[in-house]
Each structure stands twice: as structure tokens, then as C-alpha cells.
């Protein structure tokens, strides 16, 4: 799951109550578990416990504008209560063994790149990342460089991000205010729709037709605030078909109205699927995060629902207890006390957390290397310095736990599998989203044309 932490101080974000702590210089003690000390009992020296009010800078008192419908929130609370009262419905039917080859086999990796990233629509970001004409973003999908550009009519065009002259990338990163797309290598230029605009010393290419030198278009679609691209297609993408029912819930957030604050990326030495793995379950929280977020999360009761091959989890903070104890059923709200995660196959997690939205997206680089991108989106434009400082601090704090605890552990796990010491991994019944994610990937690989032996179709 995605942590919500606030280093340096405990934070109370208005209007919702949440107690989050922060870490100063302190080393984890592996003996805590051996001594039988629970996170709640352990005295954490070096943790600040000062509470304060931290506004958005715009002094907004909502939870990020339009959010999940109240009736849905209350239905999920009722489901959570049943889970807590012993109705163990949100668990897998059985545990699952997955061979280490699913993570370390280079031949399987190449097949994943084709089947999951080139032959299917893949999420590349939110539309608010490139709102204005001339704004753009880039990505690599299955090793294929792509670029998405906002057009003057506010539609989107997507291209293979290679110049038709010598194959150099024509755009990098993300940006805005393009009037034309200009290759940095020899300055071939293109209109925003990809049509060739100019070739320096054009006479030297007179025998090459200009209309054969336009950027190569690929399929792109935008709906519910999400952008999907498919590198190996030019036909229309139906995001409704892609999301398989999840769109009804995602639409309630009005993601189109959010503002992209910042995206940060970092490369890691492990298989790309381990990024998603760590967000799918709370089982690791009491141990791995015992000195950070563990005391503030209910690690035993998460809500889990599936939408075709996609899924959503709802993870609860312990602050939900006050909501349950102090309010009537028809007065309760879910969002101030949860981290809600939408798993978008194959490589993204869309998260609603307190007063903002995040998108975690992983780019596979090789079987043992990946690039993790973390984007934060605010419900309002970040105009004031106060607002900018607020969201920067949120992003700083968000990455503190994942980059100091989760992802370093994933590197060690991958090394164990790559060495042959760990020949398989086990996903328990209490980790339903984890096993469902891998079953969905296996199903896609098995059902694709020219499926290779050893990849079998696995139902839920």
C-alpha cells in the first residue's frame, strides 16, 4: 500500500484528522520483533510528536473537491465493519505459489514487454499533466519511446518519439508551450499534429517525399482524467472497455479538474512487478514499517474489489475508530481515514489520499531494472508559495518511507531470487490483491497469440 507519512512532525491536515509521525536519525532494530515488542508498545526515540495545522495555502476546507460518493463511502465502511467482525470475505480463495522465474527470467520479461506494454493500452499519466495546447509528456512503453501532445483543439495526439530523419527523440520529459516539435539533432521540425514542418537544407532530401516523413502516430485516448496509449496500434482505444467497470468509481473524483504539482523519478535494481507488489498488501506493515507508519494503520482489514482484471483496495488508518464510535452510520465518511488504491494494469497505481491524488507508474528497463515515477496532483492550482510548500512537503514525506524501506527491500528480494536462493514466492490468502495481480498478468500472457509453453491461464 502507499504510505501517508509526514516526516519531521506529526501532522493534522485540516479538515480531516490523521496522526502521522516522522523519522529523525534512527536505525531500525531487528530485535524488536524477537523481543515481542509491538509497534504500539515500542518507544520510538527520535520521533517528533508535535501536532499542527497545515493548510493547502489556498485555505481550502474540502478533501480535494469532488470525491467518492457518500453512499459508496458508507457502503465500504459497512463492508469494513463486517470484515472486522469476522466475516472474512476480502481474502483470496487459496494461497498462490509463484516461481521466481516470473521476476528474473529474461525471456518472460521480453514477452511481458510485448503483450502487456506494446499490444495493450497502457496508462501514461493524467490529462491535467498536459492541459494547455503545446503541452506534452513522454514515456517508454515496452521499450518503445512515445510522446503525447495536447493539440490546439484540446485533443491529444500520440507519436512514436523518434525523428523520421535519424531516429533521435524529438521530445524529452514533459513540458509546455510548444509551438512546434523540433528535433535536437538536425532540427527537423513538425507541427503539433506530427506533420513535417521543415527540413534544413531541404533540397538535400528532395527525393524523399515530405508526406512520408511525418511523425508516426499511435493510438491515444483520454477519459475520466486518464490518458492511455498503445504503441502497436493506431485504432481507437476505448477506456471504458479497458477499465472494465472501474471507470464508474474513478469518474467520481473529477480528475480532470486536478492540477499536476510534480513528478519525481528514480531508478531501482529490481523487477518492475515488485513495485506493484509492495502496494498490494498491508501484511508487511507491522514489521517493515514498525518505526514509521505501523502504529497508525489497521494492517489486518483492507477492502478489496475487482473490476475485470483491475482491482481496488481500501486501506484504513486507525483514526477510523473515532469515526465509527462518535458518529451515526448515516454521518460517517470514509476518505479522511483511508488510502484508496486503484491498480491499473499493467504498471500503475492511482491513489486517493486525504487531500490529493497520486499516480505511481513503473517503467521496466530490463528484467532487473525499473524506473519508478511518482506524481502528485492537487485539487486546486498551486498559486501561492504556501501551497507550493505544502505539496512539496507532502511529496517529500510520501517518498521517505517507500525509498528508505519498501524499495530497498525489493532490491534485496530480487537479488535473492536472481541468485537462485529463492526459487518461488508465496502469496497468502490474506494477500488477495497480490495474487490477483499476478493471476491477471499470467492470464494476459497465456491468452495472447503465440503463447509460450509454461505460461498457463489462471482464473481468480
The pLDDT tens digits for 58-77 are 323 344 456 899 999 999 99
Is residue 22's pLDDT more than 60? no
| Whether domain 12-102+243-447 has CATH 1.10.540.10 | no
pLDDT in tens, 217-269: 999 999 999 999 999 988 899 999 999 999 999 999 999 999 999 999 999 99
348-406 per-position pLDDT tens digit: 999 998 889 999 999 999 999 999 999 999 999 988 999 999 999 989 988 999 999 99
Please state the domain extents for the chain.
12-102+243-447, 122-236
CA dist., res. 411 & res. 270, Å (int): 5
Q: What integer is the mean pLDDT of 32-47?
A: 34
163-172: average pLDDT: 98
Q: Which of 282, 298, 308 is nearest to 436 (CA)?
A: 308
Model confidence band, residue 451 (pLDDT cutoffs 50, 70, 90): low
The CATH classification number of 122-236 equals: 2.102.10.10
User: pTM, whole model, 2 decimals?
Assistant: 0.86
Lowest mean pLDDT of 51-55, 248-252, 296-300, name the range. 51-55
The string of pLDDT tens digits covering residues 315-359 is 999 999 999 999 999 999 999 899 999 999 999 999 998 889 999
Mean per-residue pLDDT of the chain? 86
Gap between the Cα atoms of 102 and 116, Å rounded: 14
Which of 1-10, 24-33, 149-158 has the highest mean predicted lDDT (pLDDT)?
149-158
Q: What is the pLDDT of residue 55?
A: 31
Mean pLDDT of 210-214: 96
E strand map for 41-187: 47-48, 53-54, 96-99, 122-126, 136-141, 144-150, 156-160, 174-175, 181-182
Compute the residue count for the chain.
460
Domains 12-102+243-447 and 122-236 share a fold: no
Amino acid at each position: 500500500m502507499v504510505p501517508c507519512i509526514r516526516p519531521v512532525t506529526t501532522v493534522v491536515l485540516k479538515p480531516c484528522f490523521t496522526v502521522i509521525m516522522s523519522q529523525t536519525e534512527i536505525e531500525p532494530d531487528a530485535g524488536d520483533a524477537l523481543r515481542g515488542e509491538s509497534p504500539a508498545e515500542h518507544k520510538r526515540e527520535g520521533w517528533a510528536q508535535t501536532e499542527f495545522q497545515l493548510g493547502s495555502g489556498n485555505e481550502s476546507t474540502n478533501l480535494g473537491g469532488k470525491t467518492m460518493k457518500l453512499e459508496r463511502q458508507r457502503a465500504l465502511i459497512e463492508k469494513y465493519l463486517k470484515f472486522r467482525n469476522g466475516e472474512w470475505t476480502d481474502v483470496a480463495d487459496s494461497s498462490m505459489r509463484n516461481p521466481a522465474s516470473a521476476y528474473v527470467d529474461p525471456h518472460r520479461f521480453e514477452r511481458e514487454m510485448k503483450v502487456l506494454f506494446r499490444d495493450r493500452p497502457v496508462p501514461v499519466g493524467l490529462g491535467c499533466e498536459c492541459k494547455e495546447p503545446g503541452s506534452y509528456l513522454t514515456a517508454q512503453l515496452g521499450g518503445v519511446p512515445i510522446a503525447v501532445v495536447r493539440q490546439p483543439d484540446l485533443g491529444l495526439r500520440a507519436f512514436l518519439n523518434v525523428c523520421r530523419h535519424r531516429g533521435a527523440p524529438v521530445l524529452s520529459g514533459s513540458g509546455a508551450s510548444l509551438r512546434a516539435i523540433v528535433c535536437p539533432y538536425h532540427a527537423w521540425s513538425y507541427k503539433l499534429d506530427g506533420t513535417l514542418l521543415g527540413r534544413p537544407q531541404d533540397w538535400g532530401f528532395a527525393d524523399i517525399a515530405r508526406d512520408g516523413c511525418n511523425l508516426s502516430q499511435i493510438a491515444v485516448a483520454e477519459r475520466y482524467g486518464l490518458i492511455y496509449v498503445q504503441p502497436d496500434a493506431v485504432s481507437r482505444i476505448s477506456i471504458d472497455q479497458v477499465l472494465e467497470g472501474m471507470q464508474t468509481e474513478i469518474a467520481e473524483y473529477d480528475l480532470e479538474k486536478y492540477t499536476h504539482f510534480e513528478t519525481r523519478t528514480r531508478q531501482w535494481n529490481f523487477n518492475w512487478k515488485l513495485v506493484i507488489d509492495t502496494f498490494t498488501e498491508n501484511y508487511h506493515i507491522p514489521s517493515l514499517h514498525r518505526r514509521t507508519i505501523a502504529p497508525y494503520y489497521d494492517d489486518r482489514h483492507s477492502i478489496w474489489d475487482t473490476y475485470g482484471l483491475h482491482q481496488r483496495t481500501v486501506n484504513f488508518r486507525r483514526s477510523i475508530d473515532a469515526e465509527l464510535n462518535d458518529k451515526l452510520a448515516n454521518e460517517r465518511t470514509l476518505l479522511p481515514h483511508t488510502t484508496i488504491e486503484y491498480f491499473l494494469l499493467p504498471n500503475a497505481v492511482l491513489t486517493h489520499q486525504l487531500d490529493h491524488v497520486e499516480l505511481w507508474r513503473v517503467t521496466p528497463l530490463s528484467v532487473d531494472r525499473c524506473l519508478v515515477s511518482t506524481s502528485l496532483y492537487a485539487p486546486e492550482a498551486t498559486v501561492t508559495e504556501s501551497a507550493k510548500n505544502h505539496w512539496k512537503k507532502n511529496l517529500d514525506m510520501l517518498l521517505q518511507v517507500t525509498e528508505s524501506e519498501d524499495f530497498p527491500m525489493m532490491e534485496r528480494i530480487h537479488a535473492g531470487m536472481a541468485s537462485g536462493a529463492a526459487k518461488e514466492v508465496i502469496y497468502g490468502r490474506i494477500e488477495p490483491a497480490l495474487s490477483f495481480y499476478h493471476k491477471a498478468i499470467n492470464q494476459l500472457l497465456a491468452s495472447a497469440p503465440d503463447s509460450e509453453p509454461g505460461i498457463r491461464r489462471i482464473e481468480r
